[in-house]
Amino acid sequence: MGFRNFIKSKTLLSFITAFMLLGTNVLMAQTEAAATPGGQPDAPQVDWTGVSYYLLLFFLICLGIAVVGKILKIYDLTLKIQGKKGMKWNTVMAVFCLVFLAVGLYGAYWSFTVQGSMTLPEAASVHGVKIDEMFTVTTVLTMIVFFATQILLFTFLFNYRHSEKRRAHFLPHNNTIEKVWTIAPAIVLTILVVFGFFTWQKIMDNTDAKGEVASINVDITGHQFAWELRYPGKDGKLGPKDFKMVSAANKLGVNFKKKSSFDDLSADTMYLPVNRSVRLNIQAQDVIHSVYMPHFRVQLNAVPGLPTFFKFTPTITTAQMRTKLDDPKFEYLVYCNKICGGGHYNMQKVVRVVTEAEYQAWLSRQKPYLTDQLRKELHFAAADQPKTGIQNRLALNN
């Protein structure tokens, strides 16, 4: 009889050990998860005395697993000695599947609520709102499928776990149901495609429609590892560029053969007037960069030798966004989002969306691109004197 009790305690023991085994990773998850909402980068850390500490820890865990393994084996053997069938691993795994489903669903829910709330604020541009709508529709549709299929998957695993008593249901195919689940996704995807196709065409259309107020041209050029900005002057036109014209003072290689180049302005911060259409002229000098302004849902690569354009209309000023997010330091930013070298991770430019009046005031304070040094370089005798053919040639020879 004592032996029987021993077995019982063994059952208990093996459950505890199995629990601990699982617990190691759950525990790790919990401590980390607990640290997450704190949001402090300097949360109490483990003492980094050395690797040997971790190696020892790992060795101990391995030892623990080995001990548990042996215990399970002995338990299994004793069951068999008693003439019973050994551990029912199929049932254990089936239960694990169910537990995983429950914990996983909760984890997904937690992730959606906690981490989901850390995502980008509402779109600050006209087309961005459309993108966000589309995102919501897609999310709802896919999440229905996600939860349905994962729940089915893991409940099937539990429900139809192995049993000696029954046989599987022989079902090689069923044409009706197969047709249904071919056509159903096809229909859903067609809706998404049509919806997406027209939105995409509209967003990517970078010509101004007739009767519309002309877009503000802003020139943004990427190089390792910074962005350069150029605004048009009073004529509203940006002068053409030629990479062969690049020099120390003419960083962008603006071609001063054309009149429109003379009044161009250079800027440090990208100021944009709210509710005005902006056409970003994007280019790169050395390698591919990518202009990424997530708050405006704007992204387009900057490719050397291939000028690209993105037209969008900001709708929320920086000041408004600051109050909305309750963050007085908030700034819109341009990131680089295409691997471009060692400094790729820190290629930012501040973007300020302001009112029309503020924008005009700011614009009037900007310095012309044609600096004194550049004039000297180009051998311009007098500042306002229009260029002559000879000077052009000089400029070229330079």
Partner 1 sequence: MSTLAVHDHGVAHHDDHGHEHHHNQSFLSKYVFSMDHKMISKQFLITGITMAVIAMILSILFRIQLAYPDKTFPLLTTLLGRFAPNGRISADFYLSLVTIHGTIMVFFVLTAGLSGTFANLLIPLQIGARDMASPFMNMLSYWFFFIASVIMLSSFLVQKGPASGGWTIYPPLSALPKAMPGSGMGMTLWLVSMVFFIASSLIGGINYVSTVLNMRTKGMDLWKMPLTIWALFLTAILGMLAFPVLVAGVVLLIFDRSFGTSFYLSDIVLNGVQQPYEGGSPILFQHLFWFLGHPEVYIVIMPAMGISSEVMSVNSRKPIFGYHAMVYSLIGITVLSFIVWGHHMFVTGMNPFLGGVFMITTLIIAVPSAVKTFNWLATLWRGNIRFTPAMLFAIGMVSFFISGGLTGIFLGNATLDINLHDTYFVVAHFHLVMGSAAIFGMLAGVYHWFPKMFGKMMDEKLGYLHFWLTFIGAYLVFFPMHFMGLDGVPRRYYAFTEFVSMQRWLTVNTFVTWAAIMAACAQVAFLYNFITSIFIGKKATQNPWESNTLEWTTPVEHLHGNWPGEIPTVYRWPYDYSKPGAEEDYIPQTVPFSQTMSSNLPTDFEDNPKGLEELNKFQSTLKANEQVK
Q: Binders of partner 1 among 171-210, rule CB under 8 A?
A: 171-174, 177-178, 181-182, 185-186, 189, 192-193, 196-197, 199-201, 203-205
Candidates 97-105, 273-281, 359-367, 387-395: pick the segment binding partner 1 (CB under 8 A). Answer: 97-105
Among 131, 220, 353, 378, binds partner 1 (CB under 8 A): 131
Stretch that binds partner 1, among 134-142, 207-215, 227-235, 264-272 (CB under 8 A): 134-142
Inter-residue contact 233 to 368 (CB < 8 Å): yes
385-393: long-range contacts, CB 8 A cutoff, minimum separation 24: 386/259, 387/256, 387/257, 392/257
Residue among 169 and 234 whose Cβ is closer to partner 1: 169
Element (H, E) at 56: helix 51-81
22 binds partner 1 (CB under 8 A): yes
CA distance 203 to 134: 13
DSSP type of residue 238 = P
Query: What value, to the nearest 5°, has the Cα angle with vertex 369 and ends 248 and 329?
Result: 100
Burial 293-316 (b: 16+ CB within 10 A, else e): bbbbbbebbbbbeeebebbbbbbb
CA atoms of 269 and 357, how far apart (whole Å): 17
Sites for partner 1 among residues 313-352 (CB under 8 A): 329, 333, 335-346, 348
What minimum distance in Å lies between the beta carbon of 204 and partner 1?
Answer: 4
Ordered DSSP codes for 277-308: -EEEEEEESSS-EEEEEGGGTEEEEEBTTB-E
Which residue, 199 or 217, is less far from partner 1 as judged by CB?
Answer: 199
Q: What is the DSSP letter of 113?
A: I
Q: Is 392 an interacting residue with respect to partner 1 (CB under 8 A)?
A: no
Task: Quote the CA–CA distance of 110 and 102 in Å, as a whole number.
Answer: 12
Binding test (CB under 8 A) with partner 1, winner from 23, 86, 107, 236: 107
133: left (phi over 0), alpha (psi -120 to 50) or beta: alpha
Q: Is 150 in the site for partner 1 (CB under 8 A)?
A: yes
Q: How far is the CB of 9 from partner 1 (least distance, A)?
A: 21
* 297 is an interface residue for partner 1 by CB under 8 A: yes
Which position among 12, 93, 102, 214 is part of the footprint of partner 1 (CB under 8 A)?
93
- Choice between 205 and 235, CB closer to partner 1: 205
Instruction: Return the range that interacts with partner 1 (CB under 8 A); candidates 8-16, 19-27, 209-217, 315-323.
Output: 19-27
Q: How far is the CB of 14 from partner 1 (least distance, A)?
A: 12
User: Applying CB under 8 A, what is the total number of residues that bind partner 1?
Assistant: 128
- Interaction mask 32-71, partner 1, x per CB under 8 A: xx-xx-xxxx-x----x-xx------x--xx--x---x--
List binders of partner 1 among 369-388 (CB under 8 A): none
CB of 385 to partner 1, least distance (A): 28
Q: Does 14 interact with partner 1 (rule: CB under 8 A)?
A: no
Under the binding rule (CB under 8 A), the answer on residue 106 touching partner 1 is no
**Judged by CB under 8 A, which of 152, 350, 361, 396 binds partner 1?**
152
Amino acid at 142: T
Those residues whose C-beta lies under 8 Å from the C-beta of residue 234, and which sit 6 or more positions away, are 263
Instruction: Copy the structure tokens of residue 378.
Output: 């180009």
75 touches partner 1 by CB under 8 A: no
CB atoms within 10 A of CB 128: 24
Q: At closest approach, how far in Å is the CB of 5 from partner 1? A: 26
Q: Which stretch binds partner 1 (CB under 8 A): 8-16, 95-103, 352-360, 372-380?
A: 95-103
395 and 378 in contact (C-beta within 8 Å)? yes
Distance of alpha carbon 111 from alpha carbon 32, whole angstroms: 13
Q: Which of residues 251-280 bind partner 1 (CB under 8 A)?
A: 251, 253
| Secondary structure element (H or E) that encloses residue 223, with its range | strand 216-223
Single-letter code of the amino acid located at 293: M
Closer residue to partner 1 (CB): 290 or 366: 290
